[in-house]
Structure 1
Amino acid sequence: MELRGAFTALSTPFKDGEVDESTYRDFIEWQIEQGIDGLVPCGTTGEAATMSHEEQGRVIKICVEQTKGRVPVIAGAGSNSTKEAIELTKMAKDAGADATLQITPYYNKPTPGGLVAHFKAIAQAAPLPMVIYNVPGRTGLNCLPSTLKMIKDAVPEAIAVKEATGNLCQGAEVVELCGRDFMLLSGDDFTALPLLAVGGVGVISVISNIMPKAMSSMCHAFFAKDHEKALELSLKMAPVNRAMFMETNPIPVKSSLAMMGIFKDAQFRLPIVPLQDENKPKLEAVLKTAGLL
């Protein structure tokens, strides 16, 4: 399975505390119309951490149904409990997802051997291509390139990594140790273009929720060796990227979707709360300057 280009870590719209299926389907359709290369339901940006397993399975199924095979669907199915990750992966597989996104177990802080055993158990119970998600800022654990090599060698289903350390040296070392057949995806919009330059193949993106065409076009310009255009698009997105992290993700991006009229409003589940009042005019100003409002 080849993953290449921009994959949106989809925000999940809520209505009266429940998943807003109609808005979600329209959002997926808009993403595909805008030229996105793939979709990632139930990741951090999609607020999977506050969804029940039943809701998570339903959101993945909606995404697969609406996508109709036009782009790959990489379903968030990870957990710090191997047993739960297996259950979620089985649900993603039953829903028809093309691959799963598997976070390194948070809080537990397993050893390299524990990480290998975790991903191996998931793959054996529910064989499906998996993207390892390395985000030490949220998990308290950095999955080093040497550990990724161990995982790749032991788990054939592990085909890629979503690298969200912001460390370009680490990203480059992943390609060096794991080879070009193990796909490097940026998990941080700020490092999307630099990681392409050291052997990456794309990005799982927050900003592509609101700028899917720009992020996809940047990746494709790079692949076409039009580095000037790729840099131009990267610089265009830079101020919006910063705004997407003025507060904890997914608060700014979901607020932006509401401001743009793509979502009816910006509803969150505790412990995530709405954007602070003092940040609303700042976010609006950035979106207006970028031509999004």
Structure 2
Amino acid sequence: MQSLIGTGVALVTPFRKDFSIDTEALIKIVNFSIDGGVEYLVILGTTAENATMNETEKEFVIQTVVETNNGRLPLVLGVGGNNTMEVVEELKSRDLSQFAAILSVSPYYNKPTQEGIYQHFKAVSQASPIPVILYNVPSRTGSNMLPATVLRLANDFKNIVAIKEAYGDMVQAMQLLKNKPKDFLVLSGDDMIALPMVLAGGSGVISVIAQGFPKEFSEMIRLGLNRKVDDAFKLQYQFSDCIDMIFEQGNPAGIKQVFQSLGIAENTVRLPLVSVDESLAGRIDKFVEKINKIA
């Protein structure tokens, strides 16, 4: 899965002030990310606010991104949930021919045991006609997919090819990197430690901030992959404050403020999320202005 090495972006779904999908802004965001040099795009991940979108809207987002991308970059589709039978049915019924892989989150809310997580992804693997990227994000799911479970899945199922590891703990990431099968990819799901994970042997990142600053962030990851450490960390430290800011009041409220600052999209999110407050919006605006002056 060489196409998944580097920087993937977890695309937002831009909304107008009336909360409808902003098609024009979505097209701009896709092109902005592609023109900025990222390696692939992820559709309908958590950052897309798919939890507050109906099926018609989701299909519209998929088709808009596929058509806008027009074969330029590999695409990954978020297909996950806490009802295993429902996820399996979606995998069997959906046309996945346009996608390089699916990104499937560990079941949330139910808080399954490690064996339950294993059996869930066994079913996902057996149902999926394309490669599977596991997604571990305990801050959202309420349970941590432990390295032993990830490695068991990676060794048992050939089409489980990668993990988006978003626990935010370098020790856990290093356990995965130390013991993973040779071709299994460990991708950071945490923008702040994406570079350290790459330098420890990771294959890249599925990023939120990279869609706001695709040129700089994807270059940082490439520098890390090429072991140009000093140059990579210059970019890391340039963006570390903004990484904190975009997650300070929840995702994707922060990155949507970046897009508003850039003049690409409104900062509208759907309830129960709310837009960032004036103080944070002002700090993000100043950061974007500073970066634009440097560029």
Indicate the residue corresponding to 2:9 in structure 1. 8
Indicate the residue corresponding to 2:208 in structure 1. 206
CA deviation vs aligned residue, 1:141-161 (integer Å, no higher than 9, x gap): 111110001111232221101
- What is the CA–CA distance in structure 1 between the aligned matches of 2:228 and 2:142, rounded to whole Å? 38
- Does the 8 A contact of 2:111 with 2:143 survive in 1? yes
Correspondence for 2:249 among 241, 247, 250: 247
- Report how far residue 184 of structure 1 moved: 0.5
- Structure 1 residues 56 and 87: alpha-carbon distance in aligned structure 2, compared to 1, 3 A threshold: farther
- What is the CA–CA distance in structure 1 between the aligned matches of 2:250 and 2:56, rounded to whole Å? 25
Indicate the residue corresponding to 2:186 in structure 1. 184
- Report how far residue 26 of structure 1 moved: 2.2
- Does the 8 A contact of 1:240 with 1:290 survive in 2? no
Give the aligned residue type for 1:224.
N
Identity rate, percent: 36
Give the aligned residue type for 1:124.
Q
Specify the SS of the correspondent of 1:290: helix
- Structure 1 residues 58 and 92: alpha-carbon distance in aligned structure 2, compared to 1, 3 A threshold: farther
Uncovered stretches (5+) of structure 2, i.e. residues with no partner: none
- Does the 8 A contact of 1:14 with 1:20 survive in 2? yes
Uncovered stretches (5+) of structure 1, i.e. residues with no partner: none
Specify the SS of the correspondent of 1:45: helix
Indicate the residue corresponding to 1:160 in structure 2. 162
Aligned pairs for 1:1-293 within 5 A:
1-2=1-2, 3-15=4-16, 16-90=18-92, 93-94=95-96, 96-263=98-265, 265-291=266-292
- Structure 1 residues 196 and 92: alpha-carbon distance in aligned structure 2, compared to 1, 3 A threshold: farther
When the two chains are superposed, the root-mean-square deviation of aligned CA atoms in Å is 1.8
Give the aligned residue type for 1:286.
F
- Report how far residue 50 of structure 1 moved: 1.0
- Report how far residue 206 of structure 1 moved: 0.9
- What is the CA–CA distance in structure 1 between the aligned matches of 2:99 and 2:23, rounded to whole Å? 18
- Does the 8 A contact of 2:212 with 2:259 survive in 1? yes
- What is the CA–CA distance in structure 1 between the aligned matches of 2:180 and 2:231, rounded to whole Å? 29
- Report how far residue 19 of structure 1 moved: 1.9
- Structure 1 residues 28 and 138: alpha-carbon distance in aligned structure 2, compared to 1, 3 A threshold: same
Specify the SS of the correspondent of 1:71: coil
- Structure 1 residues 44 and 91: alpha-carbon distance in aligned structure 2, compared to 1, 3 A threshold: farther
- Structure 1 residues 78 and 170: alpha-carbon distance in aligned structure 2, compared to 1, 3 A threshold: same
- Report how far residue 212 of structure 1 moved: 0.6
- Does the 8 A contact of 1:123 with 1:155 survive in 2? yes
- Does the 8 A contact of 2:111 with 2:142 survive in 1? yes
Specify the SS of the correspondent of 1:245: helix
- What is the CA–CA distance in structure 2 between the aligned matches of 1:172 and 1:67, rounded to whole Å? 34
Normalising by structure 2, we get a TM-score of 0.93
